[in-house]
Amino acid sequence: MKILSIESSCDETSAAVVEMGEQNRILSNIVASQIEIHALYGGVVPEIASRAHIEAVSEITYRALSEAGITLKDIDAIGVTNGPGLIGALLVGLNFAKSLAVSNGIPLIPVNHIKGHTAASYFLEDRPEPPFIALVASGGHTSIILVESYTKFTTIGRTRDDAIGESFDKVARIMGIPYPGGAEMDRLASIGDKSAIRFPSAAIADDSLDFSFSGLKTNAVNLLHNYGQKNEEYSKEDVAASYTKAVCSSIVKKLSLAFDRYDVKKLVLAGGVAANSHIRKELTSFCGKRKIAFYVPPKNLCGDNGAMIGAQAYYEYLDGNTAGSDLNAYPSSQND
Ligand code: KG4
Ligand code: ZN
């Protein structure tokens, strides 16, 4: 089954054509990033994001079709992210997808962005089959999810404030690293001393599976401001390494509790932060010790992209979750 999919929930306009079934293949996956525009402001400016999506969505979609070597006539369904995300940004992709679907008589499938992130792992050669536990960590979300079937997701743990990516980006910003600083924090952490600074845990100290990244982030921000006020030299590498160590151990702590609690033997890591080499390494080792199968998409499928939305759209379609012309977008997480 060939699916055209469109993603516009934040600062990437993306369209893809995927072929799903016995084998899952990406025929095209075009991502137009707005990062350069938002970097000027140190973060995503919602109205600018919506306007940039408007300019890009049509061209990106037709480029995805042409790179896949097909036309709309060959498409069996159109998948589109309808939430959560920036409402103005979501509406652009959604309305465009809806118009294409309605005017060409193609089924329209709404896709939850977080479910989409986990579906990026279905393109792995050895792909996960539910049930599994997923850690979805991105700029806007940090959740531990029990995935009972391809479409039944239950959030069992979540951040009570900041997302991991957001906290990486904020600490990076105070160190003068342009938005989004997550990838640069990853690189710096590889050369720093992770024992240089003791940061607090982001794992909430109770028996929940929740996190609080705000406390950890504020601790780092205060430390950096202190260095600044005293004109003291510091090592960005050591800050990045120590911060990343605190993030990794917080994740391992709550995932460990999750696997104690649920009789599941698979872990999927997903979302933009899943590109982090230290988190990938830490979870590989955690899963090895606990005899848990570990799945993580290649780095180019961790960040927002259309192909992951197409993959999830397939399973939504199989479940009969298509939408009519009254489909709307929603900004924050529902039903997940
Ligand atoms: O999933 P995504 O593309 O967008 C959202 O849905 O939010 O995630 C973007 C986030 C940003 O915060 C970015 O800094 C972070 O993912 N990120 C990383 C790395 N690559 C991207 N964070 C840590 N290490 C990385 N290598
Ligand atoms: Zn995302």
Examine the domain organization and report whether 168 and 278 are in the same domain.
yes
268 domain-assigned: yes
Residue among 185, 163, 162 nearest 172 (CA) = 185
CA quadruple 86, 90, 91, 92: dihedral sign: positive
Distance (angstroms) between ligand 1 centre and the Cα of 62 equals: 27
CB of 85 within 6 A of ligand 1: the answer is no
What is the number of other CB atoms lying within 10 angstroms of the CB of residue 25? 13
Examine the domain organization and report whether 86 and 153 are in the same domain.
no
262 domain-assigned: yes
User: In this structure, are strands 108-112 and 12-19 parallel, antiparallel, or unpaired?
Assistant: unpaired
CB of 275 within 6 A of ligand 1: the answer is yes
Which pLDDT tens digit goes with each residue over 172-231? 999 999 999 999 999 999 999 999 999 999 999 999 999 999 999 999 999 999 999 999
Is 70 exceeded by the pLDDT of residue 336? no
- Residue of the CA atom closest to atom 24 of ligand 1: 276
CATH number of the domain bearing residue 280: 3.30.420.40
Is 80 exceeded by the pLDDT of residue 335? no
Q: How far apart are the C-alpha atoms of 105 and 167, rounded to whole Å?
A: 43
- Residue of the CA atom closest to atom 23 of ligand 1: 182
Q: How far apart are the C-alpha atoms of 82 and 84, rounded to whole Å?
A: 7
Examine the domain organization and report whether 149 and 200 are in the same domain.
yes
CA 226 to chain CA centroid, Å, is 32
Examine the domain organization and report whether 98 and 142 are in the same domain.
no
- Residue of the CA atom closest to atom 20 of ligand 1: 183
324 domain-assigned: no
Q: Check residues 332 and 217 and name the one with the higher pLDDT.
A: 217
CB of 11 within 6 A of ligand 1: the answer is no
Which one of the ligands is nearest to 11 CA?
A: 1
CB of 244 within 6 A of ligand 1: the answer is no
Examine the domain organization and report whether 132 and 95 are in the same domain.
no
CB of 83 within 6 A of ligand 1: the answer is no
Confidence tier at 57 by pLDDT (50, 70, 90): very high
Mean local confidence (pLDDT), 154-167:
98
Examine the domain organization and report whether 160 and 279 are in the same domain.
yes
Residues in Cβ contact with 176 at an 8 Å cutoff, skipping those fewer than 6 apart: none
pLDDT at residue number 332: 86
What is the domain extent for residue 152?
128-296
- Residue of the CA atom closest to atom 1 of ligand 1: 272
Which one of the ligands is nearest to 138 CA?
A: 1
Is 60 exceeded by the pLDDT of residue 148? yes
Q: Please spell the DSSP secondary structure of 104-166, one letter per residue.
A: HT--EEEEEHHHHHHHGGGGSSS---SSEEEEEE-SS-EEEEEE-SSS-EEEEEEBSS--HHH
Q: How far apart are the C-alpha atoms of 321 and 108, rounded to whole Å?
A: 9
Which pLDDT tens digit goes with each residue over 20-36? 999 999 999 999 999 99
Closest ligand 1 atom, CA of 277? Answer: 26
CA distances from 270 to 13, 153, 275 (A): 19, 14, 8
- Residue written as token pair 């050895």: 126
Examine the domain organization and report whether 200 and 263 are in the same domain.
yes
Out of 136-140, 225-229, 332-336, pick the least confident: 332-336
On whether the CB atoms of residues 301 and 308 are closer than 8 A, the answer is yes
Examine the domain organization and report whether 63 and 175 are in the same domain.
no
Distance (angstroms) between ligand 2 centre and the Cα of 140 equals: 7
For a mutational test of ligand 1's pocket, the pick from 162, 168, 304, i.e. the residue with the most ligand atoms closer than 8 A to its C-beta, is 168
30 domain-assigned: yes
Confidence tier at 333 by pLDDT (50, 70, 90): low
Q: How far apart are the C-alpha atoms of 74 and 194, rounded to whole Å?
A: 52
Examine the domain organization and report whether 75 and 147 are in the same domain.
no
Which pLDDT tens digit goes with each residue over 273-326? 999 999 999 999 999 999 999 999 999 999 999 999 999 999 999 999 999 999
Closest ligand 1 atom, CA of 278? Answer: 24
Examine the domain organization and report whether 39 and 142 are in the same domain.
no
Across the chain, mean pLDDT equals: 97
162 domain-assigned: yes
Closest ligand 1 atom, CA of 181? Answer: 14
- Residue of the CA atom closest to atom 16 of ligand 1: 272
Examine the domain organization and report whether 257 and 185 are in the same domain.
yes
163 domain-assigned: yes
Which pLDDT tens digit goes with each residue over 263-275? 999 999 999 999 9
Distance (angstroms) between ligand 2 centre and the Cα of 234 equals: 32
For a mutational test of ligand 1's pocket, the pick from 113, 273, 276, 296, i.e. the residue with the most ligand atoms closer than 8 A to its C-beta, is 273
Q: How far apart are the C-alpha atoms of 91 and 246, rounded to whole Å?
A: 37
CB of 165 within 6 A of ligand 1: the answer is yes
312 domain-assigned: yes
Structural domains in the chain (count): 2
Put simply, whether the predicted model's pTM sits higher than 0.85 gets the answer yes
334 domain-assigned: no
Examine the domain organization and report whether 264 and 312 are in the same domain.
no
